[in-house]
A and B are shown apart, each in its own frame.
Chain A
Amino acid sequence: MIPQKIICVDIGSTYTKGAVFNPTEDRFNVSARAVVPTTVNYLPDGFYKVLEALIPGSGSKQAYDKAEFPVFFSSSAKGGLKIAVIGLVPEMSLNIARLAAFSAGARVCAAFPYRLGKANIAQIESLAPDILLFCGGTDGGNERYALENSKMIAASKFAGTIIYAGNNFVADEVAETLSNKDIVVTENVMPDFGKLNIEPVRDAIRKVFLEKIISGKGLDELVKKFETLPVPTPLAVFNLAKAIGENVKDWDNFAIIDMGGATTDFYSYTNAFHYDGETVMKGILEPILKRTVEGDLGMRVSAESTYETGTDYFGSIGFDESKLNELKNYTLKVSESPEYLPENEKEKMFDRSLAGACIYHSLLRHAGTIEEVFTIKGRIWAQIGKDLRKINKIIGTGGYLAAMGRNNEKIIIPSEPSTPCEKIPLLPQKFTYHADNTYILPLLANLAEKYPKQCAVTAIESLINEQQN
């Protein structure tokens, strides 16, 4: 039975947001919303403030009766879930490891192929990721790298959790070598060459998140109090994307872009490869639902690197030398002050252009490519990575895109690369843009796992559709 009211809270790195949903048979209606600054030192403070604003009188731990309204919550506080991945061949096990980490809602802070050197270990120590995802080798395959790398890790100062998901023939030996560390062993992400096995790693990451990572900053207290299991915010959105793809008519080829000040998250829901008789798939076949995160593309903290990356894009939307310079100065200014809001039309236009660059480049990196191969029998295509050409709807969410949507500001998303390239990126060709103007998706997303159907329907209904391309 669906309860009368459901409360969802998302603890972000800057804001803690909440909403009350009134469920009906087939959808969730929003009846109240609240936002407060995240209380970084002790997260429950902000959490209870939101509760109090949503349902007056509920804000103190004592007054709140969990039996009355269930609470769901997600967290990306403390920069979210940070994972470093280790694999073997960059295009193979390392790539699959990254996909697995992303689809568990993590941010990949570093990725190391082959043998770990001293410099790599130093980098792992200084980045101090929550989890080290250690992969490489098929089952019964390469043993050397896992054995050598495990010794390097054992001798390091890394103090987080290690998830081993490589060649299972040496799992015992690796676990033994790393017995001085916190280690979890799970199934291989690539049991056979080119074959993906992502679910066990996702589960393992989820467990580590619940058991270890949330224990800081008072999240464990919220877990006990509300008898609820939090998810990393991006995992909630991942679950929502899955729910939409599986439950809503005509939504089987779409993308979600979640853009923030520091990062841009890209989710695609579409088959990775479409057999047409003249294209062959090379490398791994990526999953129908894929998430990637770009740590250098964002509206504020990452504005400068977005500017650097986006030069071609800015050129393609008509920036000349002097305008580029102005934009550069703008990015220098806003990267210093993450809360900055544009003050005039020009700055709004700059923000719009930055948003376009974030979207375009995250799209390019998420997408696969095809390349012409000439055989004596004629031309064929070799595809690497995921084909996004069938995507016909793009959802934009996150504070910036929501605000731009409300102001009716249009962002230009090209469906072709701005400079010609040998390998053709498989970008969406013809799509409509759907803005999450009320910025409700991350909150609603908390319900996606438990109530996929109602959640998906509500999400789609809340979007503002705007014709584009």
Chain B
Amino acid sequence: MSTPYNIVLGVIGSDCHSVGNKILEAYFTENGFNVTNLGVMVSQEEFIAAAIETGAKAILVSSLYGHGEIDCAGLREKCIEKGLEDIILYVGGNLVVGKVPFEQVVEKFQKMGFDRVFSNEGSLDEEAELLRKDIQERLK
């Protein structure tokens, strides 16, 4: 197998929910990724700094506490500004407060420049494969 892809993981904003973050780290590591886990309460700048230094191919953002929309706004633009125009951005968790149909959530976050949007109900089985494919696609 070729060298594993580097990815950056973290919970954005002032969100302290750490359980899912640990699970994601274990899951992507087991599935052959090199994970730099920034933990909870991660700012956009920290995500970007880590992605640059580690040469990451993707940033995986979690947001659980309901403020995902505000916290994530502008991340794609900042990435482009810092020369990370090709980086893959995923986001997941409890992305909005209240009952909003998931398709609307997806649309909202895709507009913000995220490549894929995940709910908190997925079972983490295809995500790694999906990510690998997306990265390979992007590298072409």
User: What is the interface of chain A, defined by CB distance below 8 A to chain B?
Assistant: 88-89, 91-93, 114, 136-138, 140-144, 167, 190, 192-194, 280, 282-283, 373-377, 380, 382
Contacts and interface: CB of A to CB of B under 8 A. Distances in A.
Interface of B: 3, 6, 8, 14-16, 34, 36, 38, 41, 43, 46, 49-50, 52-56, 65, 83
A80 B43 CA distance: 39
Q: Mostly helix, strand, loop or mixed at chain A's interface?
A: loop
Given A140-B3, A141-B54, A142-B54, A374 B14 contact: yes
Residue of B6, B8, B14, B65 with most partner-chain A CB within 10 A: B14
Nearest to B8: A193
B55 A193 contact: no
B65 A193 contact: no
B53 A137 contact: yes
A140 B34 contact: yes
Nearest to A89: B49
Nearest to B45: A91
A91 B52 contact: no
A376 B36 contact: no
A91 B46 CA distance: 10
A371 to B, nearest CB: 11
A89 B53 contact: yes
Nearest to A374: B14
Contacts of B83: 114
Contacts of B38: 193
A20 to B, nearest CB: 50
A380 B3 CA distance: 39
Residue among B6, B50, B55, B83 with most chain A CB within 10 A:
B55
A88 B52 contact: yes
CB-based closest 3 A-B pairs: A142-B55, A141-B54, A375-B14
B80 to A, nearest CB: 15
Contacts of A141: 6, 53-56
A82 to B, nearest CB: 26
Contacts of A375: 14-16
Contacts of A144: 55
A136 B14 contact: no
Contacts of A114: 83
A137 B14 CA distance: 27
Contacts of B16: 375, 377
B14 A193 contact: no
Given A140-B3, A193-B54, 5 more contacts: A89-B52, A92-B49, A140-B34, A141-B54, A193-B50
Contacts of B50: 92, 193-194
B62 to A, nearest CB: 15
13 contacts: A89-B49, A89-B53, A114-B83, A136-B53, A138-B36, A138-B54, A138-B55, A140-B6, A141-B6, A141-B53, A141-B54, A141-B55, A194-B50
A89 B78 CA distance: 14
B12 to A, nearest CB: 13
A88 B41 CA distance: 23
Contacts of B6: 140-141
A376 B65 contact: yes
A193 B53 contact: yes
A377 B66 CA distance: 13
Contacts of B49: 89, 91-92
The CB with the most chain A CB atoms within 10 A, among B8, B53, B54, is that of: B53
Nearest to A190: B53
A137 B51 CA distance: 10
Contacts of A283: 46
Given A140-B34, A373-B41, A88 B53 contact: yes
B68 to A, nearest CB: 13
B88 to A, nearest CB: 16
Q: Chain A CB within 10 Å — which of B14, B49, B52, B65 has the most?
A: B52
B41 A280 contact: yes
Given A138-B53, A141-B55, A142-B53, A193 B3 contact: no
Nearest to B50: A193
B41 A193 contact: no
B50 to A, nearest CB: 5
Nearest to A280: B41
A148 B25 CA distance: 32
Contact of A143 (B8, B15, B55): B55
Contacts of A91: 49
B55 A93 contact: no
Contacts of B55: 137-138, 140-144, 167
A170 to B, nearest CB: 10
Contacts of A136: 53
Nearest to B51: A142
